[in-house]
Amino acid sequence: MSQSLAVRAAAFGSLGPSAGSSVARVREVLDIFAAKDINGEVLTAVRYFPAREAKWAEFPSWVHADLVAAYDAKGIRQLYTHQAIAAEAVHLGKNVVVVTPTASGKTLCYNLPILNSILENTDTRALYLFPTKALAQDQLAELYDLNQRLDNRFGVFTYDGDTPADARKAIREKGHVVLTNPDMLHTGILPHHTRWTRLFENLRYIVIDELHTYRGVFGSHLCNVLRRLRRIANFYGSDPIFICCSATIANPGELLQTMVFANSRLQTEILLTYLQQANPEPPGKQETIRGYRGGYLPNERREIERGLRDGRIRGVVSTSALELGIDVGSLDTVVMAGYPGSIAGTWQRAGRAGRRSGSSCTVMVASSSPLDQFIVRHPDYFFGNTPEHAFIQPDNLEILINHLKCAAFELPIAPGERFGQVDVPDLCARLAEAGFLHLAGDHFHWTHEAYPADTISLRSITSDNFIIIDVTGSPNVIGEVDFPSALIFLHEKAIYIHGGQQYHVEHLDFKERKAYVKQVDVDYYTDAVRYTEVRVLEATETFAASSPSANSHSHGDVLVRSQVVGFKKIKLFTNENIGDGKLELPENEMHTTSYWITLERALLESLPYSVSERQSGMFGLLHALTSVATLLLMCDGRDLGTAIGERPPAHGSDTELVGAHHAAPLLGPSAAATDDFMPSRLRDASASQLKEFFEPSLYLYDAYPGGIGFSEPLFRVHDLLIQKTRELIAACPRWRPRPARQRSLSRHSRQAV
């Protein structure tokens, strides 16, 4: 019996007919896979989680009779015990964090006490924060249904970038429950708090749903936004209760609909293209397989969400935009095309299925990335660990100063006022010297006309967006993307895919922030080629190599420059590289912090490979290091950037390679093979010079201006990082060195890693 057959038997062998038809169908599918899995490499782990018996509690006596009746009409006649405990704590005025599996009724934990409070006192106001617009829309539907059953006795509205201008005043006046997101709170509510006087004077509850998503840069920003929120609420005389909710594991639904999760926008559109071509609809019929991701217009996203709920859409391919606690109908199956990057994210995606009744199935299809391979080869690591802790650094100087500017615009900063764990008077004095603040009496006031929140993005470096206009016929806006994404997906000659339809980018207008595209039907897509250049500004700490054949490691301040220099044409289905092109796009620059490893020249020269082979190996090593680093830091992979460059020269060195003050930008094996893409510094250096002088540094830098606090922890756990990376590479089944070099490669790999 193959390994996968054994795994399947162990997982499902105890199930009888009572397990349900959907589980039986899953068994049939696994049988098909297992029959083809002769070497036990297709299925590496199968786990079955039986339903757990519910524990019930009665509605508390303080709940308004009409509210009890409204829930009863929805079929909810009792509470889960965790709902009763949470609701009681909120009713007593306590700050609460609810951490339970998905589809376990977290929404009721806060809706019950909040709506009860509104029924008792119509002045009560509540602010709900959701990380995505889609989730806010989903919760709006739930609250709207309750309100209908209560004869419209409270006002509930979403307030985000899609809210019409003529509706916003009514929302500010009549909204008892306002559903928004951190971005809109940051730019549209807090800076204009004088228009929201009624809300802030009566603000009693703040709900923060999907708390586990606020990690890294986004989480650090949110912490400062909440500091500003409390500051303004206190100014208006209110001291709101905070109710936070987070999911940890998923509960198993019916085989009716399928959701496929991809880890990038490009992957989403390519998978959607494949699925639509494999399952064509008759002429005149609407597609029943749709895509869902950032960049789609609001009306398109709402239409897809409705289609999922009413069953018109049978399958959807999505990025993390649909990952959170959205009830999208009778979803039965979730397929993850690649590991999401975290245990919490995996359970969140799994929890989209099985939210109604019956059982559900979740399948993770691993990619070739080191992290994916580690997870599927070590399933006990995933199933045996709890979801990650969110890692944030709200007192990051770059982030904090930006929010201090916002706070000063909203209200003058008083003496002795605290904002995080920093010296506020000193920072305010520096901002005053720079012309942003003015000291009047003992308060610091904002001096500029424009409000700062408008230029500070909570999720990315820039808040600029490009509008995408289809000019195939009459000009028609089909979507929008942020500035960094536009450089990658909307450069001229790119093939942009939207909803499975291909578009050729005719022109990218930087001044007007518009991209003009035309519909095409081609058999390829484009993939941007970027290079990154790192310059070490200051090494804070360095651990020197113990021998010439070892490596040293450091952390410190760096300057990172990146640029899209070309693109490749990749054939659909086969992934062949069928062409390329050169580009000249703007260069991005940022000052951040980095951790880096430097490989000594003696070590490199001892390896029995050519210069190009060593370069390819270094990229593989950096890729593996990054994968392990995201596990150790428990961070979002997008929070780390990578580059390979030269060792920073010693002070006063006379033997510097051309451009050695900068980390020479390398592009990776596929791009570096084309001389047109090779940056000038490497083109000018001969192979002999590279062999003699090139000592590579492998950089893992914080992908945000000023750093987010990952570099020093990586430096501290260097030995563990190297150990785990070595284990990851050694366990890779694809690693099959040629017999003649087996012993030598093993020895030198241990030295390099």
- In angstroms, the CA 449 to CA 444 distance is 15
Q: What is the pLDDT of residues 345-370, one digit of tens each?
A: 788 788 777 665 556 788 888 888 87
Whether 459 shows a pLDDT value over 80: the answer reads no
Write down the pLDDT at residue 587. Answer: 87
Candidate ranges 7-21, 97-111, 389-403; pick with highest mean pLDDT: 97-111
Nearest to 535, CA basis, from 594, 604, 622, 588? 594
Residues 6+ apart with CB under 8 A from 414: 442, 443
- Angle, CA of 602, 606 and 609, to the nearest 5°: 125
How distant, in Å, are the alpha carbons of 137, 359, 372 from that of 334?
A: 21, 12, 17
Helix (H) or strand (E) holding 400: helix 397-410
Write down the pLDDT at residue 330. Answer: 63
Q: Give buried/exposed letters for 102-124 (b at 16+ CB in 10 A, else e).
A: bbbbbbbbbbbbbbbbbbeeeeb
Helix (H) or strand (E) holding 590: strand 588-599
- The CB density around residue 499, as the number of other CB atoms within 10 Å, is 18
Q: Which of 24-28, 353-357, 616-620, 667-671 has the lowest mean pLDDT?
A: 667-671
Q: What is the pLDDT of residues 3-38, one digit of tens each?
A: 444 444 444 444 444 445 666 777 777 777 777 777
Longest pairwise C-alpha distance within the chain: 84
Give the pLDDT mean for 612-630: 87
- The CB density around residue 719, as the number of other CB atoms within 10 Å, is 10
Whether 713 shows a pLDDT value over 90: the answer reads no
Give the pLDDT mean for 234-244: 95
Cα 472 from chain centroid (whole Å)? 33
Q: Which of 487-491, 566-570, 648-652, 728-732 has the lowest mean pLDDT?
A: 648-652
Looking at 121-256, list the stretches that DSSP marks H as alpha helix, in order from N- to C-terminal side.
133-149, 165-174, 182-184, 197-201, 216-235
- The CB density around residue 730, as the number of other CB atoms within 10 Å, is 12
Whether 716 shows a pLDDT value over 60: the answer reads yes
Of residues 231 and 246, more confidence is placed in: 231
Name the CA radius of gyration of the chain, rounded.
Answer: 28
By the 8 A CB rule, do 313 and 290 touch? yes
Write down the pLDDT at residue 103. Answer: 66
Q: What is the pLDDT of residues 123-139, one digit of tens each?
A: 999 999 998 777 788 88
- In angstroms, the CA 235 to CA 201 distance is 9
Provide the total of helices (H) and of strands (E) in the chain, helices listed first.
Answer: 26, 26
Write down the pLDDT at residue 198. Answer: 95
Q: What is the pLDDT of residues 195-227, one digit of tens each?
A: 999 999 999 999 998 887 787 778 888 989 999
Write down the pLDDT at residue 390. Answer: 59
What rounded mean pLDDT belongs to the chain?
80
The two three-digit tokens of residue 204, written as one number: 């009693």
Give the pLDDT mean for 274-297: 85
Q: What percent of the chain has pLDDT over 90?
A: 38
The sign of the dihedral angle between the CA atoms of 307, 310, 314, 315 is positive
- In angstroms, the CA 31 to CA 16 distance is 16
Whether 1 shows a pLDDT value over 50: the answer reads no
- The CB density around residue 376, as the number of other CB atoms within 10 Å, is 17
- In angstroms, the CA 686 to CA 234 distance is 66
Write down the pLDDT at residue 21. Answer: 60
Give the pLDDT mean for 311-315: 83
Write down the pLDDT at residue 387. Answer: 60
Q: Give buried/exposed letters for 438-453 (b at 16+ CB in 10 A, else e).
A: eeeeebbebeeeebbb
By the 8 A CB rule, do 600 and 742 touch? no
Looking at 685-741, list the stretches that DSSP marks H as alpha helix, in order from N- to C-terminal side.
687-693, 711-716, 718-730
Q: Is 652 exposed, middle or buried (0-12, 13-18, 19+ CB in 10 A)?
A: exposed
Write down the pLDDT at residue 30. Answer: 74
**Angle between helix 742-752 and 718-730 (nearest 10):** 160
Q: What is the pLDDT of residues 508-550, one digit of tens each?
A: 999 999 999 999 999 999 999 988 889 999 999 998 876 665 6
Of residues 410 and 43, more confidence is placed in: 410
Q: Give buried/exposed letters for 331-355 (b at 16+ CB in 10 A, else e).
A: bbbbbbbbbbbbbbbbbbbbbbbbb
Torsion of CA 219, 225, 226, 229, to 10 degrees: -170
Whether 650 shows a pLDDT value over 70: the answer reads no
Q: What percent of the chain has pLDDT over 70?
A: 81
Helix (H) or strand (E) holding 98: strand 96-100
Give the pLDDT mean for 600-610: 82
Q: Which of 239-243, 338-342, 614-618, 679-683 has the lowest mean pLDDT?
A: 679-683
Whether 659 shows a pLDDT value over 70: the answer reads no
By the 8 A CB rule, do 156 and 111 touch? no
Nearest to 452, CA basis, from 410, 418, 487? 410
Write down the pLDDT at residue 176. Answer: 97
Write down the pLDDT at residue 610. Answer: 81
How would DSSP label each residue in 499-531?
TTEEEEEEEEETTTTEEEEEEE--SEEEEEEEE
- In angstroms, the CA 317 to CA 288 distance is 11
- pTM for the structure as a whole: 0.68
- In angstroms, the CA 355 to CA 104 distance is 9
- In angstroms, the CA 490 to CA 488 distance is 6
Total residues belonging to the chain: 753
Q: Which of 31-45, 88-102, 685-699 has the lowest mean pLDDT?
A: 685-699
Whether 674 shows a pLDDT value over 50: the answer reads no
Backbone angles phi, psi at 514, to 5 degrees: -135, 145
Whether 662 shows a pLDDT value over 70: the answer reads no
Whether 184 shows a pLDDT value over 50: the answer reads yes
3-state SS, residue 643: strand
Write down the pLDDT at residue 251. Answer: 25
Write down the pLDDT at residue 116. Answer: 96
Write down the pLDDT at residue 559. Answer: 94
Write down the pLDDT at residue 287. Answer: 86
The two three-digit tokens of residue 62, written as one number: 């303080």
Write down the pLDDT at residue 669. Answer: 34
Confidence of residue 635 (pLDDT cuts 50, 70, 90): confident
Whether 147 shows a pLDDT value over 90: the answer reads yes
